[in-house]
Amino acid sequence: MKFLKLILKNAFRHKVRATLTIIGIAVAVTAFGVLRTVVTAWYVGVDAAASNRLITRQAISFIFPLPYAYKEKIAAVPGIEAISFMNWFGGVYLDKKNFFARMAVDAETAFDVYPEFLIAPDQLATFKAERNACVIGAELAKQYNLKIGDPMSLDGDIYPGRWDFVIRGIYTPKFDNTDATQMFFQWNYLNERILQDMPQRANDVGWYVTRITNPDDAATISSQIDELFMNSSAETKSETEGEFTRGFISASGAILGAMNFMSFTIVAIIMLVLANTMMMSARERTREYAILKTLGFSVPQISWLILGESLVLSILGGALGLLLTAPLVKGFAAAVPKGWFPVFKIEPITMALLIAAVIFIGLASAIFPIRRAASTSIVDGMRFMG
């Protein structure tokens, strides 16, 4: 700490170079933070997935339906506590770019398998009782300024026509990463209309959701379910909710992979920038380090001077970068269509990664200058003309 003054003076000896380096680090840290936030936002569904929930879908693709008749058979498999089912409705709310999940769910059981969607008992009761009732997430209510009693209409695409609902419940998220941007309405309501308009598509279920007693049995129960419908016209594929969600994401996997790779490439590049700055400084100060050695500074003490300088630059750059990341992430969240990312914020893990990266960069950049200073003898250092 006695060296702090000298370290700070050294770090800012070349004001322009130090400033550019700090800005470089800040920009990289910001890019890293935003990229990581996008990646984690994408995976938030996987992280939020309950390990005691299974999804059973059509084996070929989840876009093909399963018969309603499977419900009782699946429910009979040992280890299953609760079963529900839902259909992806799709459709348009007001404008095509308003993106959020709209699902036809089994009103009787939906909130049993999703205990993290918190809903008041009286609202749930009304939802179950009224055919055209719907429940929306608190986040969605906030975004579109909706409240209980408001009408809500969808233009169907998978299920054509105009669909009118009344909001009878607003659920709140139990956890930070719980998706509070969904809209649920009664599967019965959907099915009744389909029965009239397109009878051949009636009694179709998008997928089944089951809650199991013991997460460790997930694999066994999944294969037991799938065996039930082996060789039928609609074979099933059961998996944990996490695997199911991951399946959705893998469609965008290449992009995510690229983002992941980029975020770490940025760290590597910026390390080279700082390492270069530090190397230049150390080279210019070859003679000075020799002088300090004649004054009695030991190699470890000189190493601290160099390491300190490197850390000062990386930490200042990192701090500036962190300050810039927060508003940028906010701006980014505002720029992407609402509902694209149910949860979009800087996660603690992103913060931790950022801080670790900054310190790592500071440490790594000091290695070569320290080695150079240590291996240059005083006599050679004094004769050095840089």
Partner 1 sequence: MPHLIEIKALAKSYWRDGFEIPVLNNININVEKGDYLALMGPSGSGKSTLLNLIAGIDRPSKGEVVVDGTNIAKLGESELARWRANNIGFIFQFYNLIPVLTAYDNVGLPLLLTKLGKAEQKKHIETALSIVGLGDRMKHYPKQLSGGQEQRVAIARAIVTDPQILVADEPTGDLDRNSAEEILTLMKRLNEEFGKTIIMVTHDPHAAESAKKTLNLEKGDLIGSSK
Q: Which residues bind partner 1 (CB under 8 A)?
A: 2-3, 5-6, 9-10, 13, 287-288, 291-301, 377-379, 382
**Minimum distance from CB of 356 to partner 1 (Å)?**
31
Are 109 and 84 within 8 A, CB to CB?
A: yes
For residue 66, the surrounding DSSP H or E stretch is strand 66-67
Interacting partner of 174 out of ligand ATP, partner 1, none (Cβ under 5 to 8 A depending on kind): none
DSSP string, 19-53: HHHHHHHHHHHHHHHHHHHHHHHHHHHHHH--TTE
Where in 10-69 is the site for ligand ATP (CB under 6 A)? none
Are 41 and 335 within 8 A, CB to CB?
A: no
Interacting partner of 62 out of ligand ATP, partner 1, none (Cβ under 5 to 8 A depending on kind): none
Instruction: Report the C-alpha gap between 350 and 47 in whole angstroms.
Output: 14
Q: Should residue 125 be labelled a site residue for ligand ATP when binding is judged by CB under 6 A?
A: no
**Minimum distance from CB of 296 to partner 1 (Å)?**
2
Q: Which residue number, 195 or 379, has a Cβ lying nearer to ligand ATP?
A: 379
**Minimum distance from CB of 51 to partner 1 (Å)?**
55
Instruction: Report the C-alpha gap between 47 and 349 in whole angstroms.
Output: 12
Q: Which residue number, 16 or 254, has a Cβ lying nearer to partner 1?
A: 16
How is residue 286 written in tokens?
Answer: 């070859």
Q: Which residue number, 149 or 296, has a Cβ lying nearer to partner 1?
A: 296
Interacting partner of 303 out of partner 1, ligand ATP, none (Cβ under 5 to 8 A depending on kind): none
Residue nearest to ligand ATP (CB): 379
Interacting partner of 363 out of ligand ATP, partner 1, none (Cβ under 5 to 8 A depending on kind): none
Q: Which residue number, 254 or 295, has a Cβ lying nearer to partner 1?
A: 295
Interacting partner of 298 out of partner 1, ligand ATP, none (Cβ under 5 to 8 A depending on kind): partner 1
Beta bridge partners of 114: none
For residue 152, the surrounding DSSP H or E stretch is strand 151-156
Q: Which residue number, 4 or 255, has a Cβ lying nearer to partner 1?
A: 4
Please choose, from the candidates 270, 256, 365, 366, the residue with its C-alpha nearest in 3D space to the C-alpha of residue 320.
270
SS3 274: helix
Q: Which residue number, 146 or 374, has a Cβ lying nearer to partner 1?
A: 374
Instruction: Report the C-alpha gap between 206 and 209 in whole angstroms.
Output: 10
**Minimum distance from CB of 142 to partner 1 (Å)?**
54
Q: Which residue number, 52 or 303, has a Cβ lying nearer to partner 1?
A: 303
Instruction: Report the C-alpha gap between 281 and 60 in whole angstroms.
Output: 62
Are 40 and 347 within 8 A, CB to CB?
A: yes
Q: Please say whether the dihedral angle defined by the alpha carbons of residues 236, 240, 243 and 244, taken in this order, is positive or negative.
A: positive
In angstroms, the Cα distances linking 157 to 59, 90, 96, 161, 163 are 24, 7, 11, 7, 11
Most distant CA pair in the chain, distance: 96
Instruction: Report the C-alpha gap between 10 and 4 in whole angstroms.
Output: 10
Where in 342-381 is the site for ligand ATP (CB under 6 A)? 379-380
Instruction: Report the C-alpha gap between 210 and 53 in whole angstroms.
Output: 6
Interacting partner of 3 out of ligand ATP, partner 1, none (Cβ under 5 to 8 A depending on kind): partner 1
Interacting partner of 287 out of partner 1, ligand ATP, none (Cβ under 5 to 8 A depending on kind): partner 1
How is residue 143 written in tokens?
Answer: 């975004």
Q: Which residue number, 6 or 336, has a Cβ lying nearer to partner 1?
A: 6
SS3 289: helix
**Minimum distance from CB of 292 to partner 1 (Å)?**
7
**Minimum distance from CB of 295 to partner 1 (Å)?**
5
The count of residues interacting with ligand ATP (CB under 6 A) is 3
Interacting partner of 297 out of partner 1, ligand ATP, none (Cβ under 5 to 8 A depending on kind): partner 1
Q: Which residue number, 122 or 380, has a Cβ lying nearer to ligand ATP?
A: 380
List contacts with ligand ATP (CB under 6 A): 379-380, 383
